[in-house]
A and B are shown apart, each in its own frame.
Chain A
C-alpha cells in the first residue's frame, strides 16, 4: 500500500464515519507505513497516539484483516484504538498509556521487536516520561519508539503550549531507539495543513471532493 492510497482511504472512511482527528491521521501516514515495512512476523505494533486511528484501521483493512467496507463502521463505533477491531492488540483511550504498555511488551519478550507510535502532545504526559526512564534503565533494545511530531496539539502550536524540544532530547538520549519524525498535520490537503482546527473538524461532501483532488 502506498501513502497516496492510504490518504484517500482515510479521507473517504472518515467522511463516511463522520470521524474527526483528520489532521492527526494524515500526519502519521508515512510513519505507519514505514514501521510496517520494518516489522517481522512476530513483531508487534501499538498505535498509542490514539488520535488519528483511521490511518491504522485503513492500513489493517488493506492488509486483509477485515473487509474494507467495514472500516467506516469500525471507525464510527471505535474512534479510538480498540481491540474489538481485528489486528489491534490493546485498546487505548487517554494519552500517555501506550508507551508503558509497549515497554511491558518489550520487557516480556525480548526476542521480538515492539513498535509504538506516540503523538507529540502525549510526550507532555508525565506517564510517558516515567516509561522513558524505565525503558532506558532496562535497556530495551527491542523497543522502537516513534513520535509523530506534527507540532500542533488540540489547542494550538505545541511550542506555544508546552515546548518539547528538551523533552525530545531527553527521550532520544534515554531510549535505545527513538525517532522524532517531523511531520505536517493534515499533510496532503492544503486547507488542513498546519491548521490545528482539523484536529476536531469534520469533512462535508464538498470538502471531501476538494481534498481528494489534491491527493
Chain B
C-alpha cells in the first residue's frame, strides 16, 4: 500500500468534503504530502507554524467551539514537545481533538539516542479519555480518524 502519510491526507480530503467543521492543522510539516489537501481545502487548513504548544491549545479551543481539529506533525512535535497541552487541554478536558504523529521515536534519528526505547506510547498510556491507534493499513487508518472523542494516531 501507499505511504500512510499520503493515505492520511487523502482520507482527510474525504472527511473535509463531507464535513465543513473538519480542520487540519500542521506544525509546518508534511512536505510532499500536505500540498493537495492544503490547495483544495484552504478554509479547512492551518499551518500553525513552529509553535507546537499553541497548536495543541488552538486545536482544543477549536474543538470547544464545535470544530473537529486534526493536528499533524512528527510524533516528537505533536506529543513530546507540547505534552502538557495534550494532557491538560485535550485529555483532561476530553475534547474531540485528533493528534497525528509520524516517525515515532525514530523521528529525526537522534544519534545520541542509544536505547531508542522512549516513545509516545509511554507518555500517553496513562492519560484518561485519549484513545491510541497504531494503524497499519487504510482501513485501520479510516477507523481511527472517524472515532468519536480525542485520540492519538501514529502513522
Bound-state Cα–Cα, A104 to B89, Å:
12
Does B85 lie at the interface of the complex (its beta carbon under 8 Å from any beta carbon of A)?
A: yes
Q: How far is the CB of A59 from chain B (nearest CB, A)?
A: 20
By the criterion CB–CB under 8 Å, are A89 and B49 in contact? Answer: no
By the criterion CB–CB under 8 Å, are B92 and A107 in contact? Answer: no
By the criterion CB–CB under 8 Å, are A104 and B60 in contact? Answer: yes
Residues of chain B lying within 8 A (CB to CB) of residue A137: 49
Q: How far is the CB of B17 from chain A (nearest CB, A)?
A: 19
By the criterion CB–CB under 8 Å, are B62 and A104 in contact? Answer: yes
Residues of chain B lying within 8 A (CB to CB) of residue A93: 88, 92
A70-94 vs B, Cβ < 8 Å mask (1 yes, 0 no):
0000000000000100000111111
B53-65 vs A, Cβ < 8 Å mask (1 yes, 0 no):
1101111111111
Does B93 lie at the interface of the complex (its beta carbon under 8 Å from any beta carbon of A)?
A: yes
| Count of chain A to chain B residue pairs whose CB atoms are closer than 8 Å in the complex | 89
By the criterion CB–CB under 8 Å, are A101 and B64 in contact? Answer: yes
Does A155 lie at the interface of the complex (its beta carbon under 8 Å from any beta carbon of B)?
A: no
Tell me which of A93, A102, A134 has the highest count of chain B C-beta atoms within 10 A of its own C-beta: A134
Q: How far is the CB of A122 from chain B (nearest CB, A)?
A: 12
Does B128 lie at the interface of the complex (its beta carbon under 8 Å from any beta carbon of A)?
A: no
Evaluate whether A104 and B65 lie within 8 angstroms (CB atoms) in the complex, with A126-B53, A134-B58 already known: yes
By the criterion CB–CB under 8 Å, are A100 and B65 in contact? Answer: no
26 A-B pairs with CB atoms under 8 Å apart are A83-B93, A90-B60, A90-B89, A91-B93, A97-B84, A97-B85, A97-B88, A100-B54, A100-B56, A100-B57, A100-B58, A100-B60, A101-B58, A101-B61, A101-B64, A101-B89, A102-B61, A104-B57, A104-B62, A104-B64, A104-B69, A105-B61, A106-B61, A108-B66, A131-B57, A134-B51
